[in-house]
Structure 1
Amino acid sequence: MTALENPGLARFNASEDSAADTALREVCASGAWASKILAQRPYAGTEALFAASDTATAELTAEDLAEAMAGHPPIGRPKPGDPTSSREQSGMAGASEDLKAEMLELNLAYQDRFGHVFLICATGRTGEQMRDALRERIGNSPEQEREIVRTELGKINRIRLTRLVEQEEA
């Protein structure tokens, strides 16, 4: 969809840098990522925006990736008052107390092993699917896990960018 066909993308393209930066930081907490997306405006269409996001995500340094992950709460504990976090983690909303307790335990073990939150594109996943992915990934090497995290972050960024450019005018 082109910017002419997408009023949300046209609005994003035309917005002040500070407003666009704020919106982008809600998509991804990495300043380097947001700067790269800002620098390439205007976007002819959503696919161009997604391509820029994918490239920026692929180019994140270890420090940039850590900054991006710091913007994500642990699975099973969405940020209070944050509708994005709650919506994305809705698969845990109806989880049993046992599953929630297991996720807490696994999240802590993962954080001890890798030094950051377990990051997964939770949209559309059940609590059990997220738990199973966490169980599987905790055995990865740090290098393997960093690349999986980068892929998951890219998926999250695309979903959030879609929401950003499809929002009705405020």
Structure 2
Amino acid sequence: MKLDEWNALDAADAERELLQVCASRRWAREVASSRPHPDVASLQATAEVALTDADLDEAMAGHPRIGDRAAAGASRREQSGVAGADADVLTALADGNRAYEERFGHVYLVCATGRSAQELLEILRVRLGNDPATERAVALAELAAINRLRLARLVERNS
């Protein structure tokens, strides 16, 4: 869909499209209500400002684990760098995901686009050393990066 088509959707349809980008209902409502946008950059900037710590838990619930073979849609495409990883790296990612979830109480959220399984594993290991407040801020920044990419794909499909 093109940006002008998304701008013209009714509020419920615009929110439904945004929920495919980010699972936070509050965020989707706020971004949908900000229309129209003159360009993708405006949409992305508004979406980033609209994203708050209050959205993080609901948004993370909509993300599969890194390396999860059941990942679908955008997550599968974003994690394509994991697809060809060897068994040792996949096992280490699975173990790291478990350790991360035990430490922080939520999935390891990272903008995986363009990153290999080994890179994602190294980032995970570093982030395990963060204190909870720092890690929450990092996860929010990663979510914003994911949203930017997904918003661009949303309004540039078939353009």
- How many aligned positions are there? 159
Moved more, 14-23 or 128-137: 14-23
Amino acid at match of 2:156: E
Matched, 1:135 2:125: yes
Superposed displacement of residue 49, structure 1: 0.4
Is the CA contact (8 Å cut-off) linking 1:73 and 1:117 kept in structure 2? yes
- Determine the C-alpha separation between the residues in 2 that align with 1:23 and 1:126: 28
- Determine the C-alpha separation between the residues in 2 that align with 1:83 and 1:154: 18
Match of 1:76 in 2: 67
Structure 1: 4+ residue segments shifted above 3 A? none
Matches within 5 A, 1:115-134: 115-134=105-124
Amino acid at match of 1:17: A
Match of 1:60 in 2: 53
Match of 1:149 in 2: 139
Matches within 5 A, 1:1-170: 8-57=2-51, 59-61=52-54, 64-80=55-71, 82-168=72-158
Deviations 1:101-151 (A, max 9, x none): 110000000000000000000000000000000000001001000110011
Q: TM-score, normalised by structure 1?
A: 0.90
Superposed displacement of residue 78, structure 1: 4.7
Amino acid at match of 1:105: D
- Determine the C-alpha separation between the residues in 1 that align with 2:79 and 2:42: 28
Deviations 1:76-123 (A, max 9, x none): 00545x231211000110000111111000000000000000000000
- Determine the C-alpha separation between the residues in 2 that align with 1:38 and 1:102: 39
Amino acid at match of 1:42: P
Is the CA contact (8 Å cut-off) linking 1:79 and 1:85 kept in structure 2? no
Structure 2 portions without partners, runs of 5+: none
Amino acid at match of 1:136: V
Is the CA contact (8 Å cut-off) linking 1:21 and 1:34 kept in structure 2? yes
- Determine the C-alpha separation between the residues in 1 that align with 2:110 and 2:95: 17
- Determine the C-alpha separation between the residues in 2 that align with 1:76 and 1:155: 19
Structure 1 portions without partners, runs of 5+: 1-6
Query: What RMSD in Å do the two structures reach over aligned CA positions?
Result: 1.3
Percent of aligned positions that are identical: 44
